[in-house]
């Protein structure tokens, strides 16, 4: 979790083979069943993950979507986008918003009921 | 040296893997991986040779109607793969930086679509007086455009 927002630190602390096994986006892919993701993150049926969530969150397009969502939430997406948002931008916002709602729900649900609220 | 990060809204920059200013691994798999990482993260600095500047192709965001038209255009005209990449490249290209004296991309209407004229392809195909090099570049970059257009910019994970 320490390295979620700092790929450079993670690369210094973990050897290449270990990061490959965790799905590090900065390394070539290897056949691994496990891709690192933070606690509470779950894949829906049929979903797959190619890269570690930390790598994904730091990609410029993902950061752009996160910024756009703030403005979309306040009804000013066209101002942020300097015009009509592209289809890809809208899709990205929808995916992120749905995921954020899902996480919020999990944070409100006790661990005993499959959520993330309360002590481990 | 800084490059504009990839965007879902604004024009985005593409650099060809054949660009001589790039210092890429000799192993094909490692080279593909280095290009993938640079394209995803927008971090090209470590790949560019000191003191050199790559040719940067600035591409426009295409819309759903471009996708519909491109599929129909391919079907109506039975385009080869390279012709399809050329059309996608002409649809998307906005400007080119660091490409000799070539700067301005002229546009014309084709079936109501706003495409760059063939002049831009001719300029790329004239590189090293060997059209096959330019065709490889257009196939590579047009392929990126087609992938973004057809598959969408998929969730990255």
* Interatomic CA distance for residues B23 and B46, integer angstroms: 8
Question: Does residue B5 belong to any structural domain of this protein?
Answer: no
A68 to B9: CB separation less than 8 angstroms, yes or no: yes
Identify all chain B residues contacting A95, using CB atoms and an 8 Å cutoff: 155
pLDDT value at position B153?
A: 60
For chain A, counts of helices (H) and of strands (E) = 6, 0
**What residues make up the domain containing B142?**
12-151
- Name the residue facing B156 among A27, A28, A51 (closest C-beta): A51
Question: CA nearest B31 in A: which residue?
Answer: A28
Is the pLDDT at A2 greater than 70? The verdict is: no
Structure tokens at A89: 């931008």
pLDDT value at position A64?
A: 94
Question: Does residue B2 belong to any structural domain of this protein?
Answer: no
- Quick: pLDDT tens for B28-52: 999 999 999 999 898 899 999 999 9
B8 to A92: CB separation less than 8 angstroms, yes or no: yes
The count of domains in chain B is 1
Residues paired with B13 in a beta bridge: B58
Is the pLDDT at A77 greater than 70? The verdict is: yes
pLDDT value at position B2?
A: 45
B84 with B74: CB under 8 angstroms?
yes
pLDDT value at position A33?
A: 66
Is the pLDDT at A93 greater than 70? The verdict is: yes
Tell me which DSSP letter residue B38 carries: H
A4 with A38: CB under 8 angstroms?
yes
Is the pLDDT at A70 greater than 60? The verdict is: yes
Whether residues A52 and A76 fall in one domain: no
Is the pLDDT at B150 greater than 80? The verdict is: yes
Whether residues A64 and A117 fall in one domain: yes
Contacts of A25 (CB under 8 A, 6+ apart): A50, A51, A52, A55, A56, B37, B40, B41
Chosen for mutation from A19, A23, A28 (greatest number of chain B CBs closer than 10 Å) is A28
* Interatomic CA distance for residues B17 and B15, integer angstroms: 7
Tell me which DSSP letter residue B49 carries: P
CA nearest to B54, candidates B85, B28, B17, B91: B17
pLDDT value at position B1?
A: 43
Whether residues A33 and A46 fall in one domain: yes
Helix (H, G, I), strand (E, B) or coil at B95: strand
**What residues make up the domain containing A88?**
59-120
pLDDT value at position B128?
A: 85
Structure tokens at A116: 């993330």
Compute φ and ψ for A110, nearest 5 degrees: -60, 150
pLDDT band for A103, please (50, 70, 90 cuts).
Answer: confident
Whether residues A37 and A3 fall in one domain: yes
Question: Does residue B1 belong to any structural domain of this protein?
Answer: no
B140 with B17: CB under 8 angstroms?
yes
Whether residues A70 and A89 fall in one domain: yes
Interface size, chain A vs chain B, as Cβ–Cβ contacts under 8 Å: 62
CA distance A111 to chain B (A): 26
* Interatomic CA distance for residues B27 and A58, integer angstroms: 27
A100 touches chain B (CB under 8 A): no
Identify all chain A residues contacting B150, using CB atoms and an 8 Å cutoff: none
pLDDT value at position B3?
A: 57
* Interatomic CA distance for residues B141 and B92, integer angstroms: 10
| Crossing angle between the packed helical segments B118-125 and B81-92, to the nearest 10 degrees | 110
B90 touches chain A (CB under 8 A): no
pLDDT value at position B157?
A: 39
Whether residues A50 and A70 fall in one domain: no
Percentage of chain A lying above the pLDDT 70 cut = 92
Is the pLDDT at A43 greater than 80? The verdict is: no
User: What separation in angstroms does the CA of B60 have from each of A18, B7, B23, B65?
Assistant: 38, 10, 27, 14
CA distance A104 to chain B (A): 20
Question: CA nearest B5 in A: which residue?
Answer: A60
Please compute the mean of the pLDDT values over residues B64-69 and round it to a whole number: 92
B76 touches chain A (CB under 8 A): no
Is the pLDDT at A52 greater than 80? The verdict is: yes
pLDDT band for A49, please (50, 70, 90 cuts).
Answer: confident
Is the pLDDT at B5 greater than 90? The verdict is: no
Centre a 10 Å sphere on the Cβ of residue B142 and count the other Cβ atoms it contains: 26
CA nearest to B145, candidates B133, B137, B156: B137
Q: What average pLDDT does chain B have?
A: 90
Question: Does residue B113 belong to any structural domain of this protein?
Answer: yes
User: How many residues in total does chain B contain?
Assistant: 157
Please compute the mean of the pLDDT values over residues B84-97 and round it to a whole number: 96
The count of domains in chain A is 2
Q: Kindly indicate whether the ipTM for this predicted assembly is greater than 0.85, answering yes or no.
A: no
Helix (H, G, I), strand (E, B) or coil at B46: helix
Helix (H, G, I), strand (E, B) or coil at B42: coil
Q: What average pLDDT does chain A have?
A: 86
B148 to A88: CB separation less than 8 angstroms, yes or no: yes
């Amino acid at each position: 979790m320490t390295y979620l927002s700092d790929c450079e630190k993670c690369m210094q602390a973990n050897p290449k083979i270990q990061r490959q096994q965790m799905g590090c986006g900065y390394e070539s892919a290897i056949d691994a069943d496990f891709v690192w993701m933070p606690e509470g993150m779950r894949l829906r049926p049929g979903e797959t993950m190619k890269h570690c969530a930390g790598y994904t969150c730091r990609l410029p397009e993902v950061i752009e979507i996160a910024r756009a969502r703030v403005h979309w939430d306040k009804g000013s997406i066209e101002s942020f986008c300097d015009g009509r948002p592209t289809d890809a931008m809208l899709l990205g916002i929808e995916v992120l918003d749905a995921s954020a709602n899902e996480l919020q729900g999990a944070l409100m649900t006790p661990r005993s009921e499959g959520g993330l609220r309360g002590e481990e | 040296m800084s490059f504009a990060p990839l965007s879902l809204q604004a024009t985005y920059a593409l650099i060809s893997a054949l660009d001589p200013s790039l210092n890429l691994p000799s192993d094909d798999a490692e080279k593909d991986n280095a290009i993938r990482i640079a394209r995803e993260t927008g971090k090209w600095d470590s790949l560019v040779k000191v003191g050199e500047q790559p040719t940067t192709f600035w591409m426009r965001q295409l819309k759903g109607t471009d996708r519909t038209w491109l599929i129909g255009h391919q079907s109506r005209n039975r385009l080869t793969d390279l012709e399809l990449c050329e059309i996608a490249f002409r649809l998307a290209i906005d400007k080119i930086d660091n490409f000799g004296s070539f700067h301005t991309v002229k546009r014309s209407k084709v079936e109501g679509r706003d495409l760059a004229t063939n002049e831009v392809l001719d300029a790329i195909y004239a590189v090293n007086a060997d059209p096959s090099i330019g065709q490889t570049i257009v196939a590579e970059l047009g392929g990126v455009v087609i992938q973004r257009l057809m598959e969408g910019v998929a969730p990255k994970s």
